[in-house]
Amino acid sequence: MSLTVALDHRFPGFTLEVNFTAPPGLTALFGKSGSGKTSVINAVAGILRPDQGRITSGEITLLDTAHAINLPPHRRRLGYVFQDARLFPHLTVRQNLNYGRWFSPKTKGPNFDDIVVLLGLNALLARRPQALSGGEKSRVAIGRALLSNPALLLMDEPFAALDEARKAELLPYIEALRDHTQIPILYVSHALAEVARLATTLVVLDQGRILRAGSAADLLSDPDLAPALGLRDAGATLTGTLIAQDADGLSQLQSAGGPIWLPTIAANLGTTLRIRIAAQDVILSRTRPEGLSALNILQATISEIRLSDDGALIQLAVGSEHMLARITARSAKALSLSPGQPIFAIVKSVAVAQTDVGTR
């Protein structure tokens, strides 16, 4: 089941004009603040009524201005996780979680106990929202949205108010939702690392328009798009299979470019993982380097070079995947890089943060 969105809306001094499809999986709406991300998600929720537009969720038409169809929010069967958790202060956690279930269709929805276990809410059920930490509130808000048995999940920077440690704790829950439910997830974010970890589809918004939309892996490794995503944050994702936990605190993964060692990853052997490698953490070498402290030396082929005033962005083909390297124009020239050349990409194990490794 997928979501299609076509919108046209004029705000004072700002026009929103977008058209995209969100297939099952997680579609990230990425852009700077003011790019229109939240307006898009609000239009899907029925909170914002666009001047013109058509939105369908699977078989159901949520909005069609041409045919005067505009379902009110409560009939759109969606779960909306807001930036501020917005728990009901007069209800306990259990009552908050159950709120949407009173109104959801009687078809079999997610099991209460399963969600409580998935989100680790057991100890919180009798409490009031006031007595919860920020991370706990977010988890309850996610659980409440899921238990309303939605056909579509909307998340507007659900972790914006949380510190890195809390965020790292919650990201696996989102991955689990993405991988184990068939519900399309529309996820608003302005944090590229979060997007790289979670998104299967990426929609990049800029000033109310779509800059690019497509597979997250493709867009993140596109050197032409990297400046718009933010050069310092730019970086592509590789997949690897966890094959060994070494005694000296490293985990070994098998990737298309060769073995990758990373600081211990808590996952079962055989798990396929997605690793985000920031473009600026990649060193390129024409020959296989020796006597080097960096552990990860991946075999790749240069597939694209983009030169600009900000330096060079090199896209590397690693098997069927791509990664991105950001180097200076001088280095690019000194190495006389050109497309088709074989090259070694060097990545320090410790350059990959714990939050940069997620499930596929």
Partner 1 sequence: MPNWFTLADWFTADEWRAVALSLRVSLWATVLSLPLGTYVAHVLARREFWGKQLLNGLVHLPLILPPVVTGYLLLLAFGRKGFIGQYLDQWFGLVLAFKWSGAVLAAAVMAFPLMVRAIRQAFEAVDPKLEQTAGTLGASPLWVFVTVTLPLILPGIIAGAVLCFAKAMGEFGATITFVSNIPGQTQTLPSAIYTFLQVPGGDPQAFRLVLVSIAVAMFALILSELLSRAVARRIAGR
Q: Using CA atoms, how far apart are residues 88 and 181, in angstroms rounded to an integer?
A: 26
Look up residue 20 and give its two tokens. Answer: 């995209």
Per CB under 8 A, 129 contacts partner 1: yes
Q: What track of x and - describes contact with partner 1 for positions 3 through 32 (by CB under 8 A)?
A: ------------------------------
Burial class (CB in 10 A: 0-12, 13-18, 19+), 125: middle
Angle between helices 164-180 and 134-147 (to 10 degrees): 10
- Which of 86, 209, 212, 360 touches partner 1 (CB under 8 A)? 86
Q: What is the DSSP code (8-state) at residue 334?
A: H
- Residue 86 or 360 with smaller CB distance to partner 1: 86
**82 forms part of the interface with partner 1 (CB under 8 A):** yes
Q: Identify the residue among 33, 107, 122, 130 touching partner 1 (CB under 8 A).
A: 130
**Is the backbone of residue 35 left (phi > 0), alpha (psi -120 to 50) or beta?**
alpha
Residue 46 Cβ, how far from partner 1 at the closest point, in Å?
Answer: 8
Which of 144, 197, 276, 322 is the binder for partner 1 (CB under 8 A)? 144
Residues 38-57 that bind partner 1 (CB under 8 A): 45-47
Q: Which stretch binds partner 1 (CB under 8 A): 74-82, 109-117, 292-300, 328-336?
A: 74-82
Nearer to partner 1, 13 or 72 (CB): 72
Identify which of residues 130 and 182 has a Cβ nearer to partner 1 in the complex.
130
CB atoms within 10 A of CB 212: 17
DSSP 8-state secondary structure symbol assigned to residue 74: G
The verdict on 128 binding partner 1 (CB under 8 A) reads yes
> Tokens standing for 191?
């944090």
Q: What is the DSSP string of 235-253?
A: EEEEEEEEEEE-TTSEEEE
CB of 43 to partner 1, least distance (A): 13
Among 32, 49, 74, 286, binds partner 1 (CB under 8 A): 74
Residue 154: closest CA among 45, 37, 63? 45
User: Can you give the binding site for partner 1, defined by CB under 8 A?
Assistant: 45-47, 72-80, 82, 84, 86, 88-90, 99-100, 102-104, 128-130, 144-145, 148, 154
